Structures are given as C-alpha cells and as structure tokens.
A and B are shown apart, each in its own frame.
Chain A
Amino acid sequence: MINTTLYLRGMKGSLRLLAVLGAVITMYVTIIISMYDPELMATLDGFVELMPELMAAVGMDAGANNLLEFMISYLYGFILLIFPMLFAILRGNGLVAKSAEDGSMASLVAAPVRRTTIALTQAAVLVSGTVILLVYATAVELVSIAVMFPGEVAPGDLLQVNGALFCLQFFIGGICLLASCVFSDTRYSLGFGAGLPVLAYVLNMLANVGGDAEKAKYFTFFTLFDPSGIAAGETAARAGAGILLGAGILLYALAVAVFDRKDLFI
C-alpha cells in the first residue's frame, strides 16, 4: 500500500516544519492556559466588550466559565486551526506538485512502484504529520492543565475536541493533496491548496462577527467544526466532524485517482 523508503524520506522532510510549528504551539498553548484565571477572565471579557467584532472574529467569546471553554475560545478559533493548516498547505504542495514541477518526480515514477502507492505514501506522510502535531498539542495541553490547573478539564472531553479538530485538519490536508495532484504547476497547486482553506477561514471569521455576516457560515467548512458543541456532547457537532472525516477520505481518494491517471511532463 505504501512505500516505506519514500515514507521515511517524506517524514524526514516534515521534521523541521513540525519542530517549528510544535514550538509555536507549545508557546501559545502554555501561555493561554496559564492566563486562565477566573479573575483575569474579567480582563479578557473587557477586551471582548471593547472590540467585540475583532475578538469574535478570531473565535474569542466572552463568558467562558470553565477552563475547557476558555481553551476553546482562545485556542480553537485561531492557533490550533491555523498552524496545523499551515503544515498541510506547505507539505501538501511539496509532496507532489513541487517534485512534478522540478522533475525529481521522474525518479519516483520511473521505478517498479505503482503511482497509487506513491500518492498513498505521500498522503500518509501528510496525515502522519497532522497526527503528530495534534497529538503533541494534546500532550502539551494535558501537561499544562495537570501542572497549572489539575483536575480542571476532563481528559476525555479534551480528547473528543481534539478528535474533531483532527477531522477538520484531515479534511484540509485532503484539499491540499488534491490540489497538489491536480496541478503540476506549484503556482496553481499552492493557489488552490492554500487559497481555498484560507478563504474558508476568512469566511469563518466573518461569520463569527455575527449580524448579517453570520450567513457566511453556510459557505465555509469551518462551520462543521464546533468544539463547544463537541465538549457539550451535541450530536450535531459530532455529525459535523464525521462529515469532515468522510469528505476528507473522499478528497484523498480523489487525489490518488487523479495522480494515477495524470500526464506527467517530467
């Protein structure tokens, strides 16, 4: 199904980006969690009162009354959406389109390895990186909570929220890999692979502001990721995550099929 040698090379290629993003996530997650203080909440809520649109745009609402809700407001609206997404965009583009463009793909296809195996291997590299990033973020969250606010968040609830986050990031990775397989020109593969998720995120920001702009939520897949709903055990939120996962699988399958059939000018 996958080629081990190619997989290891791909993982090695992800290492540096994972380290950088991991460091950024460590910093933000620990700082945000350390900022949790029911008294300080008032200060943050003060910001929300001062500039409600801006704070809402990045997913920060007032009135979080426990640590998990606080984390959902301040981590799951921006940091944990953007940084794993950045990984998917950069690696998704690099794993297929870039080597098709610079010709190094020739060494991969001029070998007794099926094209579907090549594409599936690159998909595995992409998904593995996302998993590593989210497992790491979960670990940082759990350790921070255990050190600073032991017992404040039920680990099971946090895992469910992060599971849904994985579904979202998996779906975004599918978009990036599909763009990378469809276009051999990195201008277009990056244009679509980065453009679509970023556009969806901007629409999500708009929708968060509320008012008339709330209608934007019907045009962005980020709406399907509802961490508060997951934490509250809502069925609709779980269904949204399930849709993202299913659609993600479809995107990856499509990417593999496209790569198997495409003409390679290398």
Chain B
Amino acid sequence: MDAISTKGLTRDYGGGKGIFDLTFSVGEGETFGFLGPNGAGKTTTIRHLMGFLRPRAGSCAIGGRDCWRERENIQRDLGYIPGEISFFNDMTGAEFLRFLAGYRGQKPVRQKELLDRFELDPRGGIKKMSKGMKQKLGIVAAFQHDPAVLILDEPTSGLDPLMQNRFVELLREETARGKTILLSSHMFEEVERTCQRVGIIRAGRLAAVDSVEALRKRHLRSYTVTLDTPERAESFARDFGGQQDGCRVTVTARQSLEEIFLHYYGGGEHD
C-alpha cells in the first residue's frame, strides 16, 4: 500500500495559480523528493496532505486514510515541518515543546537526543530566536514523538551548512529505520543526497516523477572521440574516465540535477 498518495488533486486559485490534476504516490519506507521553485504548488499540495485545505477535485490519502476526513487520525503518526515556521511567540522553546507533547498527548521520546544533535538550547524565548534556531525547534517538534510519516516543507531553510549536513544524516537514519518521508525542496543537493525518487512540480503540474538515478541517467550524455594512436587514447581514457576501443574513447557526462531541473523549467523561468 502507498503511504502517501494523491489522485487528480486540484485546487485552482485562478490566474494559473494552484495545483492541477496532481497524481503521485510515495511508497511505505520511501523518501520522496518534491522539487519545484517557489510558487510551483509544493506548499499547496502539502496543505492538502496535512488536512488544512479541502481538495476541490481529486483526493489525497496517507496510510489509506483520506487527508481531509480523517486528518486527526493521520496526525497521530505524522511529523510536520511547516514551510514558514510560526510558533507561539509568548513561549520559550522548552515551553513550546512541552506544550506540544501535552497537547498531542504523545511522549517526546526523542526530544533530548534531537536537541543535542542540533545543538539547540530551547530555554530562550521563541520571539528572540533567529531563523535558524526556530527551524531547529521546528525539526525537534516534528521528530520528537518519533512519527512513521514525515512531511517536511523546505526543512533546511535557515540552517547553516553544518546543520544542513546533520539534518541530511538524520533523514538517512530515518529512512534506514523505515520511515516514509516527503521532502519538499528547491535545492537539488538536499534531494539528491536523501531521496530515492523525485517528483518535479512546475506551475502546479507534475512535470516528472522518477528515481534520482533514472533522472540522472536520462540526462547522461556520451561523446566518442577519436585519437591519433591507441596509446594516446589509453591515456585520454584514463584522464577522463572513458571507455577505450582502439583509437576511440567514449566519455560520458552526467548532468547535475540542477541542469535537469532547468531542462524541466525551460531556462530558469520561475513561475
């Protein structure tokens, strides 16, 4: 059974904005990258998955449950990092985490470990926290009850490279522990390093869904060059990692996801 699935999910905001006929699924234990530029519809899709918005057409489900009708049952085993973090500004980080545990009625079994991992001291007031600190608090809040499904909306925004690495490590560990993860991002590296499959969304429509590996392969380019002598061909093959066949050497160049991305978006058009 698919852990997360959408079928013909549509929400038209008018003026070409919104999401249109979105169909994709994430298998149980899979880490799925949801790639797209700002305004492509990633957050709108996630709001439907979270049960914040009622689908106008189509449907979406998590663990076989309808995301709108059974939202509170789905939430029991779900962790969520919002794209725009906004917590209760009148609380300290520690108070907020305690509030969440009490409010959800779930033990924050991983809280201490996560606070240590991200070197977050939660005793300060949320109002005075930097963007990065709030993001860390959001990570702890999403993972502290050890949910089976994680929906993460641009979770590394505001984190420095060191903390981004720690977050990627955390995701890999969670994947190894069999968690299902939907990671929305506009950063390829993050997705490339953590996800097995990627869905690319553009202007509210799914442009491609494929494994990270297949996406790379599809955009593999080969060149065959002919050299004067087999000796020269041999050294050329050695230097450029090509396949030698007499005087001919075949070299391949992989496009980075960045370039693949540009391919789907038609040259950096960000809307």
Query: A residues within 8 Å of B by Cβ?
Result: 3-6, 9, 13, 102-104, 106-115, 261, 263-266
With A3-B103, A13-B90, A265-B53 in contact, is A112–B84 under 8 Å at CB?
A: no
Nearest chain A CB to B38 CB, angstrom units: 16
Q: With A and B bound together, what is the CA distance between A177 and B257 in angstroms?
A: 49
Which A residues lie within 8 Å of B102 (CB)? 4-5
Nearest chain B CB to A93 CB, angstrom units: 16
Q: Cβ of B51 and Cβ of A113 under 8 Å apart?
A: no
Q: Cβ of A112 and Cβ of B87 under 8 Å apart?
A: no
Q: With A and B bound together, what is the CA distance between A261 and B69 in angstroms?
A: 10
Closest to A121 in B: B103
Q: Which of B72-127 contact A (CB under 8 A)?
A: 72-73, 75-76, 78, 80, 82, 84-90, 96, 99-100, 102-106
Q: With A and B bound together, what is the CA distance between A264 and B48 in angstroms?
A: 10
Q: Cβ of B103 and Cβ of A106 under 8 Å apart?
A: no
Q: With A and B bound together, what is the CA distance between A109 and B74 in angstroms?
A: 11
Q: Cβ of A107 and Cβ of B141 under 8 Å apart?
A: yes
Q: Cβ of B103 and Cβ of A261 under 8 Å apart?
A: no
Q: Cβ of B76 and Cβ of A103 under 8 Å apart?
A: no
Nearest chain B CB to A264 CB, angstrom units: 4
Closest to A12 in B: B90
Nearest chain A CB to B56 CB, angstrom units: 10
Which B residues lie within 8 Å of A115 (CB)? 71-72
Q: With A and B bound together, what is the CA distance between A104 and B73 in angstroms?
A: 21
At the interface, yes or no: B52 with Cβ under 8 Å from chain A? yes
Q: Cβ of A112 and Cβ of B76 under 8 Å apart?
A: yes
Which B residues lie within 8 Å of A104 (CB)? 86-89
At the interface, yes or no: B216 with Cβ under 8 Å from chain A? no
Q: Cβ of A264 and Cβ of B87 under 8 Å apart?
A: no
Which A residues lie within 8 Å of B76 (CB)? 112
At the interface, yes or no: B172 with Cβ under 8 Å from chain A? no
With A112-B73, A112-B76, A113-B103 in contact, is A263–B54 under 8 Å at CB?
A: yes
With A102-B86, A103-B82, A107-B141 in contact, is A9–B104 under 8 Å at CB?
A: no
Going nearest first, the 6 A-B pairs with the smallest beta carbon separation are A103-B86, A5-B102, A112-B76, A5-B103, A264-B52, A112-B75
Which B residues lie within 8 Å of A113 (CB)? 72, 75, 103-104
List 20 interface pairs A-B (beta carbons < 8 Å), by A numbering: A4-B102, A6-B103, A9-B88, A13-B90, A103-B85, A104-B86, A107-B88, A107-B96, A110-B78, A111-B104, A112-B76, A112-B105, A112-B106, A261-B54, A263-B54, A264-B47, A265-B47, A265-B52, A265-B53, A266-B52
The interface size of chain B toward A, counting residues with CB under 8 Å, comes to 30
Closest to A266 in B: B52
Closest to B84 in A: A103
Which A residues lie within 8 Å of B100 (CB)? 107, 111
Q: With A and B bound together, what is the CA distance between A115 and B72 in angstroms?
A: 8
Closest to A3 in B: B103
Residue interface bits B14-26, CB-to-A below 8 A is 1, else 0: 0000000000000
Which B residues lie within 8 Å of A9 (CB)? 88, 99
Nearest chain B CB to A77 CB, angstrom units: 36
Which A residues lie within 8 Å of B96 (CB)? 107
Nearest chain A CB to B47 CB, angstrom units: 7
Nearest chain B CB to A163 CB, angstrom units: 34
Which B residues lie within 8 Å of A109 (CB)? 50-52, 71
Closest to B86 in A: A103
Which A residues lie within 8 Å of B52 (CB)? 106, 109, 263-266
Q: With A and B bound together, what is the CA distance between A261 and B68 in angstroms?
A: 9
Q: Cβ of B103 and Cβ of A110 under 8 Å apart?
A: no
Which A residues lie within 8 Å of B88 (CB)? 9, 104, 107
User: Can you name 19 extra interface pairs (CB under 8 A) apart from A107-B87, A261-B54?
Assistant: A3-B103, A4-B102, A6-B103, A103-B82, A106-B52, A106-B80, A106-B82, A107-B141, A109-B51, A110-B75, A111-B100, A112-B73, A112-B104, A263-B52, A263-B54, A264-B47, A265-B47, A265-B53, A266-B86
